[in-house]
Structure 1
Amino acid sequence: MATGGEWQALVLAAGLSTRFGGPKLLALWNGGVLIDGALRAAFAAPVRTVTVVTGGHAAGVTAAAQAFAERIGQSGRLALVHAADHGEGLSASLRAGIASLPEDTAGAFIFLADMPAIPPFVANALIDAMTPDHDAAAPTFEGRRGHPVLLGRALFEPIRHLTGDHGAGHLLRGLGERLALVPTCEVGILKDVDHPADL
């Protein structure tokens, strides 16, 4: 199993927020803006760097991420990557994020920027579940798989070939027993924000 310094975190924040009707990651939430929730969980993880992948509304998302990292004294751990082809969908931001990681990365947490209620302890539980027999780990709530997902390096190459508005879901479904599922009592691993009413 890899040491904590070899883990990285990606926060996918490249969406256009079409269903929300505006830049939802900058919507007011819990005394800050929506993206703060995912950033808080990502920075709490035992990772070397938190990389925010931008696309739509890039300037505002970049400024929000930098402001959050500065507020918690973690600016040195923040990295920013722009997915130029973000209009293609989720696969573009995932490809850009994975391609940006250093060669010694053993695995990467995938946080979705519109999921603000991820409990911070989940990341450690996923690392604990990642044995040499597993290529990925994911939390579950009442049998439903949630986020973040921890992807081992073995999945980086298949991810580079993803296309369309899809993440790594079908890769995970094909892993069988090589996907470690970690039950939690936290419904926050399932909660995302698509519409203003979801706030």
Structure 2
Amino acid sequence: MCNSRVVGLIVAAGYSSRMGAFKPLLPVGEKTVIETAVDSLRLSGIKDIRVIVGYRSAELYPLLERLQVDVIENRNYAAGMFSSVITGLKTFSGEEEAFFLLPGDTPLIRKRSIKDLIRVFRQTGAAVIYPVFNGQRGHPPLISAKLYDSILTGDGAGGLRHILDRFTADSVEVAVADQGVLLDIDTQEDYRQLIQFYERRKVPTSEECLGMLHKYQTSERVQRHGLEVAKVGRRLAELLSGAGFSICTELVVAGGLVHDLAKGKPNHPERGARMVRSMGFSSLAGIVASHMDLEFAAERDIDEAALVFLADKLVQGEQRVSLSERFKPALERFAGSPEILASILRRQQTAEIIQGRVAGLLGVNSVDELYEIQ
């Protein structure tokens, strides 16, 4: 199945009554909600995008025409979303193999989520593919041609959900590390949260990081280590930020949580970095790639990668330790292997340099004082 036969159906025909404002035209950064929704599908490789309009449609036509999407008017929009889905399906020619159903007020879907849903559809041919984040189904589901007749002949009782539930045995849930699949904007508070998510979308939330660990089946032991590294990194980042230094605490926390994402696999730092990069997090990927070996000159500024590197070396398993405690077992184990020993000593020296710089920046006189910061 090629993506050209997958339709992106965006429903933007409702009243926005609970919101108290016309949702499709609310700003998200320099664009509107409806533009952002279109971008989410288009940037994921969906070329055939159709937008169902109804209420205040005249205000949407000029914008949507500039976006070069098909605009379909639902004159019966007062009947609810199911009527819009019917209106959209009636434009299908018979060649369409599936469609994403995306409410226009759920605009922040990550590219990797769309690609994962299509991949699973290709593998399984299931009737419905649902994105799931933290155990909760979100949008957009990918609905196959198996359901078209049932939808078109449905009487609307129970809405689309009633029809989808009839295909439960032929549906698949796909875990995605994408909080955006759950973020709609029914209320002003929803809108505020969505804007906050948008403004930091280049760094995954802690929940999304945990979603990555689940998605890639990282062991619980490794996850617990990452939680402790994130805790240490967060505290150091907050202290440095409070002292006036430019540090993104969220990026440090994300690095701590997923630095060992691919632990147990060959060259796990680079493998983990590729996983993270494939999800669109390039800054985080660099931190994951360098968490074991980091080139750090004495004059280099302390940054997020340096803090994650240090925090990782201050945690043994799930316990806070000193650098000497952390490196002692490895130094003893590989005492007879000069090449490996040199690598270990290099990492220890780098960690000591970073630790010394952080202590100096924070005005801590001794290593013990730095450890005592809680």
What TM-score, normalized by structure 2, do the two folds share? 0.48
Q: 1:166 to 1:112 in 2, by over 3 A?
A: farther
Q: What residue number does 1:30 align with?
A: 29
Specify the code of the residue in structure 2 equivalent to 1:33: T
Cα pair 2:110 2:180 within 8 Å, conserved: yes
Q: 1:98 to 1:188 in 2, by over 3 A?
A: same
More divergent stretch after superposition (55-64 vs 11-20): 55-64
Q: In structure 2, what is the Cα distance between the partners aligned to 1:117 and 1:157?
A: 30
Q: In structure 1, what is the Cα distance between the partners aligned to 2:158 and 2:51?
A: 18
Unpaired runs of at least 5, structure 1: 70-74
Q: In structure 1, what is the Cα distance between the partners aligned to 2:180 and 2:42?
A: 17
Q: What residue number does 1:135 align with?
A: 127
Q: CA deviation at 1:167?
A: 4.7
Correspondence for 1:152 among 129, 144, 152: 144
Normalized per residue, the structure richer in strand is 1
Q: In structure 2, what is the Cα distance between the partners aligned to 1:167 and 1:47?
A: 26
Q: 1:173 to 1:56 in 2, by over 3 A?
A: same
Which structure: larger Rg? 2
Report Cα offsets for 1:110-145 as digits up to 9, x if no partner: 111001211122111111111455111110011111
More divergent stretch after superposition (171-180 vs 158-167): 158-167
Correspondence for 1:191 among 183, 208, 211: 183
Q: 1:120 to 1:56 in 2, by over 3 A?
A: same
Correspondence list, 1:1-199, <5 A = 2-67=1-66, 69=67, 75=68, 78-130=69-121, 131-164=123-156, 167-199=159-191
Specify the code of the residue in structure 2 equivalent to 1:123: I
- Alignment identity in percent? 23
Q: 1:65 to 1:95 in 2, by over 3 A?
A: same
Normalized per residue, the structure richer in helix is 2
Q: In structure 2, what is the Cα distance between the partners aligned to 1:180 and 1:162?
A: 22
Unpaired runs of at least 5, structure 2: 192-374
Q: CA deviation at 1:165?
A: 8.4
Q: CA deviation at 1:45?
A: 3.4
Specify the code of the residue in structure 1 equivalent to 2:22: P
Cα pair 2:65 2:71 within 8 Å, conserved: no
Specify the code of the residue in structure 1 equivalent to 2:148: F
Q: 1:182 to 1:10 in 2, by over 3 A?
A: same
Q: Which has the higher contact order (CA 8 A, sep 6+)?
A: 1
Cα pair 1:8 1:48 within 8 Å, conserved: yes
Q: Between Structure 1 and Structure 2, how many residues are aligned?
A: 190
Cα pair 1:15 1:90 within 8 Å, conserved: yes
Cα pair 1:90 1:165 within 8 Å, conserved: no
Let me know the Cα RMSD of the aligned residues: 1.8
